[in-house]
Chains A and B, each alone.
Chain A
């Protein structure tokens, strides 16, 4: 590819190639602080993501980015070049979802305090990503907003603190809290997912992205409902986590052992909330109760 860089997020290393210079420069700026030779061109990578023109002419003329790489979705729609950062994010997610084998991958966000992790999983729109971003600015170590990597052998989770993908209302909410504008990527308006703006996690989250954590609490947040807390049975938690995993079947027995051990070891609770503040209070309360 004409332009490329490598990015290390948690235990995974991506080589991002692009037919255009701008996406790579944006990635270099956003991932500048990441350890492991972030955005250098050296070293082996686990996965390759390629941002390619849909045809040779479309590199210059109405440039349109197709997401390619080691693992590809044939029907993935191309994105406008101004949305190339989203294309890179989707490409990295795709490689992890389809190709990662070292951990059980859960579609979940996570934060840590006092060496204990809170895992939050739910469907898109549940608010788990925004909630992890808020907590990450409020006394918690941000572990990830998209994937929780569970080691089935040890029960520990590995951070995956990629760029936080803020959507729509979450953008303004985080802009109001995060004082450093250099942590934000460009505003990507009118993407297929609405408005998106990337936020670089706090420096502590990036510096400690190699430190694994033991899970202490499993939450199923749901945004847009009156404040409520409901215990979740181990049966429901098991089903929901298998649904939230992209590689449960691939890992076979390791998945079964890892997931049943996790569910047996930590309490599972569903929480409903109407605002980020309310959700933060709920997490603080439940974490404190669990520790007591």
Chain B
């Protein structure tokens, strides 16, 4: 089942996580699991731009590139969208973002 390209991501409910920016990273408390996660860039930035409306990886990567001067760290040959997709999948696996498996716009 390869619908990853059509997968979209949205923010979890605002009260599902607690976020605390520290100096070098962000501590995020996930209420339903009781786990604390330490997130490095670009994960906090991804959380910042996600909303209730599910977006595709391409849309999210585009917003990220628009908002930040992105410099891939040691992954110069990897497209930004691919890095963003990996980070979103990781965040979704932790329950920090919602992954909406869809067939494209209009779900």
Contact = CB atoms under 8 A, between A and B. Distances in A.
Check if A and B associate: yes
Contacts of A234: 22-23
A137 interface: no
Interface residues of B, number: 12
A235 interface: yes
Interface of B: 18, 20, 22-25, 27, 29, 31, 34, 36, 38
Contacts of A249: 34
Interface stretch (A62-70, A73-81, A157-165, A255-263): A255-263
Given A234-B23, A238-B22, A260-B27, 15 more contacts: A233-B22, A233-B24, A234-B22, A236-B24, A238-B27, A242-B36, A248-B36, A253-B18, A253-B31, A253-B34, A255-B36, A256-B27, A256-B29, A256-B36, A257-B18
Contacts, number: 35
Contact of A256 (B20, B23, B25): B20
A244 to B, nearest CB: 14
Contact of A235 (B23, B34, B36): B23
Nearest to B34: A252
Given A249-B34, A253-B18, A256-B18, A235 B29 contact: no
A53 B90 CA distance: 52
B39 to A, nearest CB: 11
A239 interface: yes
A235 B29 CA distance: 14
Interface residues of A, number: 16
Contacts of B20: 256, 260
Contacts of B25: 235
Nearest to B27: A238
A256 B22 CA distance: 12
Contacts of B34: 249, 252-253
Q: Which of the listed residues A236, A249, A256, A263 has the most CB atoms from chain B within 10 Å of its own CB?
A: A256
Interface in A103-144: none
A242 B38 CA distance: 12
A38 B67 CA distance: 63
Contacts of A260: 20, 22, 27
A236 B38 CA distance: 11
Contacts of B22: 233-235, 238, 260, 263
A233 B38 CA distance: 14
Nearest to B21: A234
